[in-house]
Amino acid sequence: MNIGIIGAGQLGRMLALAGLPLGLGFRFLDPNEDAPSGQLAPLVVGAYDDPASLERLATDADLITYEFENVPVEALGTIAGLRPCFPPAEALRVSQDRLLEKELFGRLGIPTPDYRSVDSAAELRMAVAEIGLPCVLKTRRLGYDGRGQRVLRKLSDLPPAWRALGGVPLILEGFVDFDCEVSIVGARSTSGEIRAYPLVANTHRDGILRTTVAPWDGGRLGALAVRYLRRVLREFDYVGVLAIELFVQDDRLIANEMAPRVHNTGHWTIEGAATSQFENHLRAILGLPLGDTRATGYSAMVNFIGSMPERAGLLALPGVHFHDYGKEPRAGRKLGHCTVVAATAAERDKLLRRVLRLVSR
């Protein structure tokens, strides 16, 4: 059986690495002919919304999925007419719009920051007056890795923020002075079976994920996050892996955003959980039983951003697993990651500090 994947970045590549042992073949669609997944499976080079390219992908695939959340929903509609396609387009549509996403969370009883839709400078001033400073102005669509957002701390921040972002639909969100950032990743299969990974803690730098520590011991918040995840999965009759990023503030969870795909904060599961998020995404869309999502030890994941660290230094540390995505270095680009796995949290924390020293050089 061949799986067609829209997007051929590192997520697609890790899906293929997980799926080849399951006896699956892979085909990719990506506008970039050097995309990382093309190194291990046939790649259709074309725009995500080019009907001819989508048809070529569908011709040689039995089942379609995507690894990139900015795939045009219309493209998914086109290809879904040719082959079964998961996750559902409606989840993609909602996740592409911060306003729809917040409204969804609200309907499902999942707390969010206070927010207002903003389409003019006047609306921005009114929204700031209602929500209060500090707050965050974001584009509703096509924002990721910290792009398309500005923190507003004083009234004089409004005009430059409006000049930078205005002209497209915006959302203003209350600034959450969080204690930490966490995420929950889980899968739902075509049979309705749901499995969730433990809650993990994340740190970002310049809006880009830097580290994930797993599992994060959030006490009762762990079960609460799973309840939130289940509500979202069921709402969409979802199939595949989905991630929700949340803030922790005063022992509360506040949803920030969701991603209808395998997620960077789930990379630790390759070596740190009984079954990886990549394998579980494939099991889910194939209707296979989902794999055990328990953590098998104490893990930490560190992203390589902009440049690759020296490989030998990292591999000399015990329990370090190296992932090079085969991409050309570029500032702000995710080029790889490593995961450390240890038998105790203290050992993991010590290893993580050593890894960070090597990666930060």
Footprint of its own copies (CB under 8 A): 13, 16-17, 20-23, 25, 39-41, 274, 283, 288-289, 291-292, 296-297, 308, 311-312, 315-316, 318-319, 321-324, 326, 336, 341
Q: Which residues contact 326 (CB under 8 A, 6 or more apart)?
A: 13, 36, 39
Minimum CB separation of residue 56 from its own copies in Å reads 19
Minimum CB separation of residue 35 from its own copies in Å reads 14
Say if CB 73 and CB 54 are below 8 A apart.
no
CB closer to its own copies out of 312 and 331 = 312
CB closer to its own copies out of 25 and 134 = 25
> In terms of DSSP H, where are the helices of the chain?
10-19, 51-59, 73-80, 89-95, 98-107, 121-131, 158-165, 220-235, 269-272, 277-286, 311-315, 345-360
CB closer to its own copies out of 25 and 306 = 25
CB closer to its own copies out of 224 and 359 = 359
Residue 31: Cβ-neighbour burial (10 angstroms; 0-12, 13-18, 19+): middle
Residue 95 is encoded by which pair of tokens? 């996740």
CB closer to its own copies out of 48 and 278 = 278
CA R_g for the chain: 20
CB closer to its own copies out of 195 and 261 = 195
Q: CA-CA distances (angstroms) from residue 113 to 56, 107, 153?
A: 42, 14, 16
Residue 74 is encoded by which pair of tokens? 């219309």
H or E element that contains 170:
strand 170-174
Residue 353: Cβ-neighbour burial (10 angstroms; 0-12, 13-18, 19+): exposed
d(CA 214, CA 226): 15
DSSP 38: G
CB closer to its own copies out of 63 and 110 = 63
